[in-house]
Amino acid sequence: MRIAKYIAHAGYCSRRQAEELIYQKKVMINGYLCISPATNVLESDVIQVDYKEINIQNEIKLWKFHKPAGIITTTNDPKNRKTVFDLIPKNLPRLMTIGRLDRKSEGLLHLTNNGEFSRYFELPRNKIIRIYRVRVKGIVQENQLNVLRKGIEIDRIKYAPMKVKLISSNISSTWLEMELIEGKNREIRKICFELGWDVHRLIRTNYGEFSLGRLEKGKIEDLSNNKYFKKIKKLIK
């Protein structure tokens, strides 16, 4: 197994991030500096990242977490703000998030112990659908929704057509449902700003065939027995 893949399977980070760590000279194999992501290793080899030994985790695990607004989706925050990892139980293995939700956003967030599994969900070519409920200030016109259905360009960045529907509306606010596949950085917020919509809430309700359901804010649920998880896990192995 190549070293970058080993690090990903150990749940340390994604394969791409592992390659970056190798180029930054932060990976050692049996006490020697690793200089290439293509280096092959055995399970008996001693692998260190930032001088900390890591071990491969053979069983892929997955959890879903209901992220509250105001929480950071990162392992460590330089500003010392509360992160997702401050809220999850301490007895869980080393985990990474699948994708991100910005600080103000809330809803469904997945955590896994396997970088390859995380990468599968994040790759655009796998066309994993993400569904969001969005509350914006004021009344939204149908012709504005048609702009999104056709696709929009902002600052020379093209955003693909998306499925969007109006859930409810009154004088003060409108609830929308938006369906994304690409998932560019802060895509929904950028699009809403371009259309003059002030976003009050942004909630991810679905990621692929996984749904937030009735999971309470700040709670985590093991998805080991989920049929969809078992199906995807076979593709990773």
Quickly count: other Cβ atoms within 10 Å of residue 151's Cβ.
11
d(CA 70, CA 83): 9
Task: Catalytic residue, from 50, 102, 198, 222: name it.
Answer: 102
d(CA 11, CA 19): 14
**Coarse DSSP helix, strand, coil percentages of the chain, rounded to the nearest 5 percent:** 25, 30, 45
CB 133 within 8 A of CB 26: no
Longest CA–CA span in the chain (Å) reads 65
Is 102 a known active-site residue?
yes
DSSP 2-51: BHHHHHHHTTSS-HHHHHHHHHTT-EEETTEE---TT-B--TTS-EEETT
> What's 68's DSSP letter?
P
Residues classed as catalytic: 102
